[in-house]
């Protein structure tokens, strides 16, 4: 389906305007370009570099400082290289960032590889200095230039090439080159998988309904946009208030119902909670006009109506939203509060933003030029393709997700063993044209929700109207929803807020089951009338605990529950909600 956009302008004689197809032509050209640029706007990158280059060229003091910095750091580098050549052990003058483990191995301490790694780190630090602290450059442009420079440097790192990576050279000598033979086979397999549309890595055993998403339950509602799953009780009594989970539709729902040992859904059911979860449809071109209002109406509100029919005696519902689903749930909760709908007993936001002023590194891909270009790319096909999203997220962690993997797979010849989280991550979904455009413009660009300008049914909603207690969960290494941004819910609401900060990233930090090693979290609550505490002070003063945040959160849920009751039936045929099949349903299986 192709949308025709008509522009109008006066003709040469000043008569009535006539239709032109100029905008459609431009959009088509941008859509074709986007297939080669993975949706990244060349104009956006060019504007950022022109802004940086022009201001740097007009800053002789900064240029002199960069030259002085290079000269001052070159001497320790040369001294270190000479001492290592002579066989002396000298402390490294340049230290990699905390998360950078490329040069940790002992082989990198030997000449000439120590000189190569130190030269790279020297160059990396110098470019960081050259792309920061330049007066007059727009903050967003400076961030884009710094990020792009880092990407280009990571491509050229000595660890990425067999002749400059001592670990690869040692392995090649020890194995007689067999590692490179296996690496070529791994590369050929990955190329074949990519050509056929299959996920990279060995994840075939993690199929929803088989290896993952196996918690017993029923599909109790299906509409154009989602299936609602209700899980079978596992205890003789359950909490009176059910739990409704609204995941993000950028990925499949079973991130919260992975393998039995790390399924949040199964864990909640085992502790006496009645759990419902939304399983979003993977949209196609015919769904291009589905917007944020449709996701709220056919998703959150339809699920709440179904729960009210299936559990008529349940006074309220614990709403839980993850990532983009949490943002949608916050919008729905604000509209419900505005309209006097008090069906929410509590609101839990898992790595979900409600204020998009500081969205983290994902904001590098969002400005007026980039959003317009992305809209044109989606306009042609009706949706945002999974590969376009995956490319952007991989670039945020290119060291771990691209280059380190290439070294292991193609140079060291190691076979990648997939796990359930990797399988889920590869099981991406599309994003409808209208919804994604509204999401980027209204939330990321205009920040309408935090400013009280976001419209629901033609009227603005305010997060400050929410009176249900809120629990917000952030993760320390989140590149998608930085925890300080998640923390802002305490500024925007006038209710009690409990904030939990847990170790890990956007996905692995949330999937943090009890017994998972090396997990830690902090938790603290504030009342509606308590004074504000800034995030850094909170992190420095909030008590910390070893283990999984799940247990602290589940205790919080029970404190806001009314007690235990007999388990409810699955569905309600007499009220129009007959079970339609077994969980995980059909939408989750649609590619």
Domain edges within the chain: 44-153, 157-198+387-419, 217-363+448-589
**pLDDT surpasses 70 at 454:** yes
Separation between Cα atoms, residue 532 and residue 491, nearest integer Å: 7
- Give the closest residue to 350 by CA, choosing from 583, 557, 153, 585: 557
Per-residue pLDDT band at 391 (split at 50, 70, 90): low
| Joined tokens for residue 547 | 């283990």
Evaluate whether 105 touches 92 at the Cβ level (below 8 Å).
no
**pLDDT surpasses 80 at 315:** no
Residue-wise pLDDT tens digits, 142-200: 988 988 898 889 989 999 999 999 999 999 999 999 989 998 998 888 788 766 666 55
The pLDDT, as a whole number, for residue 10 is: 42
Helices 178-196 and 166-175: angle between axes, nearest 10 degrees:
110
The pLDDT, as a whole number, for residue 480 is: 87
Separation between Cα atoms, residue 145 and residue 26, nearest integer Å: 27
**pLDDT surpasses 50 at 6:** no
- The pairing of beta strand 226-231 with beta strand 217-222: antiparallel
Please tell me which residue in 86, 323, 471, 502 is annotated as part of the active site: 323
Q: How many CA atoms lie within 13 A of 312 on its CB side?
A: 5
DSSP code at position 233: P
DSSP code at position 224: S
Sign of CA dihedral 300, 305, 310, 311: positive
Q: Where does 225-343 show beta strands of DSSP type E?
A: 226-231, 238-239, 243-246, 275-280, 317-322
Residue-wise pLDDT tens digits, 75-131: 888 888 888 788 777 788 888 877 788 888 899 988 899 999 999 999 999 999 999
The pLDDT, as a whole number, for residue 186 is: 87
Residue-wise pLDDT tens digits, 41-62: 788 888 999 999 999 999 999 9
Sign of CA dihedral 334, 336, 340, 346: negative
Q: Where does 129-225 show beta strands of DSSP type E?
A: 217-222
Evaluate whether 334 touches 262 at the Cβ level (below 8 Å).
no
| Joined tokens for residue 240 | 């009176």
CATH code 3.40.50.1820 for 217-363+448-589:
yes
Neighbours of 385 (CB within 10 A): 18
CA 390 to chain centre: 10
The pLDDT, as a whole number, for residue 272 is: 96
Question: Looking at per-residue confidence, does 148 or 483 come out higher?
Answer: 483
- Given the structure tokens 């339809």, which residue do they identify? 302
The pLDDT, as a whole number, for residue 30 is: 65
Separation between Cα atoms, residue 508 and residue 334, nearest integer Å: 29
Mean pLDDT across 22-44: 71
Evaluate whether 477 touches 504 at the Cβ level (below 8 Å).
yes
The pLDDT, as a whole number, for residue 249 is: 92
pTM of the full structure = 0.88
| Joined tokens for residue 578 | 């007959």
Buried b (16+ CB within 10 A) or exposed e, 535-552: beebbeebeeeeebbbeb
DSSP code at position 481: S
The pLDDT, as a whole number, for residue 313 is: 81
Residue-wise pLDDT tens digits, 196-239: 666 555 566 788 998 899 999 999 999 999 999 999 999 999 99
The pLDDT, as a whole number, for residue 404 is: 84
- pLDDT-above-70 percentage for the chain: 90
Evaluate whether 329 touches 321 at the Cβ level (below 8 Å).
yes
- pLDDT-above-90 percentage for the chain: 61
**pLDDT surpasses 80 at 3:** no
Question: Looking at per-residue confidence, does 340 or 386 come out higher?
Answer: 340
Backbone dihedral region of 176: left (phi > 0), alpha (psi from -120 to 50 degrees) or beta? Answer: left
- Given the structure tokens 């006074």, which residue do they identify? 315
**pLDDT surpasses 50 at 353:** yes
Q: Please state, rounded to an integer, the average pLDDT across all residues of the chain.
A: 88
Question: Looking at per-residue confidence, does 518 or 27 come out higher?
Answer: 518
323 is catalytic: yes
The pLDDT, as a whole number, for residue 457 is: 96
Mean pLDDT across 439-467: 95
Neighbours of 122 (CB within 10 A): 18
Length of the chain: 591
- The pairing of beta strand 243-246 with beta strand 217-222: unpaired
């Amino acid at each position: 389906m192709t949308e025709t956009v008509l522009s109008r302008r006066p003709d040469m004689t000043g008569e009535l305007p006539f239709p032109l197809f100029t905008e459609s032509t431009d959009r088509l050209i941008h859509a074709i370009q986007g297939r080669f640029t993975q949706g990244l706007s060349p104009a956006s990158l060019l504007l950022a570099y022109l802004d940086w280059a022009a201001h740097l060229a007009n800053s002789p003091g900064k240029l002199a400082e960069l030259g002085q910095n290079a000269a001052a750091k070159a001497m320790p580098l040369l001294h270190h290289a000479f001492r290592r050549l002579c066989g002396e052990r000298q402390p490294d003058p340049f230290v990699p960032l905390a998360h950078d483990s490329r040069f940790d191995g002992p082989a990198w301490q030997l000449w000439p590889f120590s000189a190569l790694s130190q030269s790279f780190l020297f160059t990396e630090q110098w470019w960081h200095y050259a792309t920061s602290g330049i007066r007059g450059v727009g903050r967003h442009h400076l961030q884009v230039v710094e990020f792009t420079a880092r990407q280009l440097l990571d491509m050229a790192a000595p660890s990425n090439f067999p002749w400059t990576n001592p670990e690869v050279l040692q392995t090649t000598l020890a194995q007689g080159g067999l590692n490179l033979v296996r690496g070529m086979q791994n590369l050929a397999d990955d190329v074949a998988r990519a050509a056929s549309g299959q996920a990279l890595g060995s994840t075939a055993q993690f199929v929803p309904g088989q290896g993952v998403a196996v918690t017993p339950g029923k599909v109790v509602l299906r509409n154009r946009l989602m299936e609602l799953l209700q899980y079978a009780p596992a205890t003789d009594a359950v909490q009176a208030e059910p739990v409704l989970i609204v995941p993000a539709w950028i990925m499949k729902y079973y991130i919260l119902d992975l393998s039995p040992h790390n399924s949040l859904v199964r864990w909640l059911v085992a502790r006496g909670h009645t759990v419902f979860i939304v399983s979003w449809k993977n949209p196609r071109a015919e769904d291009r006009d589905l917007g944020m209002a449709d996701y709220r109406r056919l998703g959150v509100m339809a699920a709440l109506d179904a729960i009210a029919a299936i559990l008529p005696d349940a006074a309220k519902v614990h709403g839980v939203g993850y990532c983009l689903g949490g943002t949608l749930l916050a919008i729905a909760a604000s509209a419900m509060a505005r309209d006097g709908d008090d069906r929410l007993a509590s609101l839990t936001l898992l790595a979900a933003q409600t204020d998009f002023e500081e969205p983290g590194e994902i904001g590098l891909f969002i400005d007026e030029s980039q959003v317009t270009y992305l809209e044109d790319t989606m306009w042609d096909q009706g949706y945002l393709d999974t590969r376009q999203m995956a490319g952007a997220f991989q670039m945020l962690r290119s060291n771990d997700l691209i280059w380190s993997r290439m070294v292991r797979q193609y140079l060291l010849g190691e076979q990648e063993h997939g796990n359930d989280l990797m399988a889920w991550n590869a099981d991406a979904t599309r994003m409808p044209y209208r919804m994604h455009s509204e999401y980027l413009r209204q939330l990321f660009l205009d920040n309408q929700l935090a400013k009280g300008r976001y419209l629901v049914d033609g009227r603005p909603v305010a997060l400050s109207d929410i009176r249900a207690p809120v629990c917000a969960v952030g993760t320390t290494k989140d590149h998608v929803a930085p925890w300080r941004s998640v923390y802002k819910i305490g500024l925007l609401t006038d209710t009690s807020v409990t904030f939990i900060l847990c170790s890990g990233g956007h996905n692995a930090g949330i999937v943090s089951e009890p017994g998972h090693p090396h997990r830690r979290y902090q938790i603290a609550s504030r009342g509606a009338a308590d004074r504000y505490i800034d995030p850094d002070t909170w992190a420095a003063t909030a008590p910390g605990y070893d283990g999984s945040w799940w247990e602290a959160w589940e205790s919080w849920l029970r404190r806001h529950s009314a007690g235990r009751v007999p388990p409810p039936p699955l569905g309600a045929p007499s009220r129009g909600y007959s079970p339609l099949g077994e969980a995980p349903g059909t939408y989750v299986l649609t590619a």
